[in-house]
Structure 1
Amino acid sequence: MPLLMSFRRWWAAIFVAILLLPTIGLVAPDVPAPLRTVLEPEGRWWEEAARRADPYINNAFGFRGAVLAAHRSYVRFLGDTQGDLALKGEHGALFLKDEHALEQSLGQLVRPEAVSGFVAFAARMDAYMKAHGGRFVVLVPPNGHTTNFEYLPAYARRLKKEPTEYDLVARQMKAAGITFVDMRPILAAAKKDGPVHWRYDTHWNQRGMLLGFNAAMAAAGRPDLEVKPQDALGPPEPRLTGDLLRATGARVPNPPDVQFPPKGPMVKPRNPNLIPGIVKPVPANDPFVPYAIDTGHPGPRIMVIGDSFSQGSWQGLGVSQASAYAWMHHRYCRFDMGAVERFRPDILIYVPTERAMPCRGEPTDWPPAPGAG
């Protein structure tokens, strides 16, 4: 009996077509998918081929967009948290998937031009503050993916490459003579005595917040303004919430997170004496409301340009140590420079979180570049 009878030929053709689908998918139109973080295999990929080539294959297989879309629908059907916003790691830890934070922390996404632009912008701010007799400090709170690296899924940890954007920023800031605080070794050392970043939230916890503030004061040449942990932090207690838990609808894990209730100088003032005419008003629905506070006691004038990592967490600390304290959002290098000029800080701290380091669009046109005007 012939091996390939007429009906068997059709089955053979279908079988071969199925085998060719991944190859066809490499060139056929696809549905939109997340950015491919590995564009080509590493050099000499045949050495330790699985370790070097697997990340490329995982990013370049046929019909990648369709497969990822189907997987996303499947995990949503199961009620899992691995949707568009959060990645589930070891021991139930959650990590933000937005703003390329994961790829950035792993060194899979490195934008040299964006890094150089950020450093050039910081250099202009540094020159402005020096010209006005003040101190300028850049401090970058790391992504949760960086601080809690050990909680990332195993496959993600294996993708870690160097240098990362944080590495490049640290090197270029030093080369440019800009005072820069690398929080990574500070937080890593502090983790030996307890957590510094929440596991189910995108932010650092109260220990991390205090470590960051103290590091900024020391970098500004004012270690006398540092606040002792025993004066600012209460004993650890369970924390049953977190922005990633709320965003994904996930249940509170067991064990829950740990928080250190603020006390003393870390508690925000109830009725701060706001200084009028410093910051411009923002829309009522803007989550980042700027403020300038007259504290009524001696101290330097401190201004912080940051985001949610410093907005409320540093307010009590700043008010307790400064004669006047101001905060506004960095707007990715497009903040209101007029507020800086009106406030006239002795210490200016630029503190974007790691994923918000790159400037977006044209930076604020103040201070002018050297030689301009």
Structure 2
Amino acid sequence: MQKGDYDASVEKSVSRLQNSPKNSEAMEVLKTAYGLALQGHLRKIDEAKMSNDLFRWESVMYDYQKINQLADDINSCPACLAIVPNPSKYIAELADSKYNAAGARYGSGLGYLRENNRQSAKKAYYEFEKTINLQPDYKDAKAKMEDAYWAAVTRVVVQPIIVNSSLYKLSADYFQQQIDQYIAKYSRNKFVIFYGEEQATNQKIVPDQVLSLNFDDFVVGQTYVKERVEKLKRDSVVIGETRDKKPVYGTVKATLSIFEKNISSSGLLDMSITDWKTRKLVHQQKFPGTYVWRDSWASYKGDDRALSNQQLAITRRKEQLPPPPSALFLEFTKPIYNQLVEDIGYYYNNY
């Protein structure tokens, strides 16, 4: 109370009197704090009403709500009612202030809507939303909010990727399906709606923007085989025994040939966003992707005792058949997809 937070003082004293109805300190605080709190809120209401602030009725409404909350708190505490018998409530005044506040937001929304541009339409949408929150049935606020929404929306048609190769068609179709699923579930920005090209045609959608995806270049299955030859030697190996059965130690040698095969596949996807009306490029980005399939095996000549267990194990491996080209194509598109959706999200989330 000494710090001037009279609302909190009332709340604390009410709480203490609910638990301890004869708490003399809480009684004294409640009596003084309630009067100061009520006086403070009424003063703020008068000041707000005299101000030129377009949204002054929201301040008025807030203070009436605080006064009514204090009254509800006191009415829930029998011991408190002995100290403040008739706490003030402003029900009609609160209703009027809400109505006036809704009217101010509605008028602001109409003003933004008249500016007839997308950014102003977004502002209008939020103003009508606040209108409805304040007064759900205020005039035609719901219809105006709907009008503002569609005036604010950017319709983006996503063109399908074209790959002129039957060998990679299935993989490209799968990549396209991943993109289609992403745009179908996109919800980060309610003012951006994505359409597939077929969907847009069926619904006769006139786009605001067109998002195009094309592979500038891709290479699948570039094969590199490297052979590394190691001369191995190990000393102190038992190579026989004497007539009296004693071990004979010597040196064993082998030549180990290790083969490493890398099959590299890579591509560069171009994403461009074009304004439908002006045909101007508004955003462009290129996303690289690479996938390398690796295999290794080995062979040796000489004494296998010169090899370590690890070296011996790799000699038992056989050369593997690589994945088919369609699978390699799909693999290098995975990092491209991750970059693509991240960039689409970054560009449109606050659009």
Mark yes or no: TM-score above 0.5: no
Q: TM-score interval w.r.t. the shorter chain?
A: under 0.3
TM-score after normalising by structure 1 = 0.19
Higher relative contact order (CA 8 A, sep 6+): 1
TM-score after normalising by structure 2 = 0.20
Name the structure where strand makes up a greater proportion of residues.
Answer: 2
Name the structure where helix makes up a greater proportion of residues.
Answer: 2
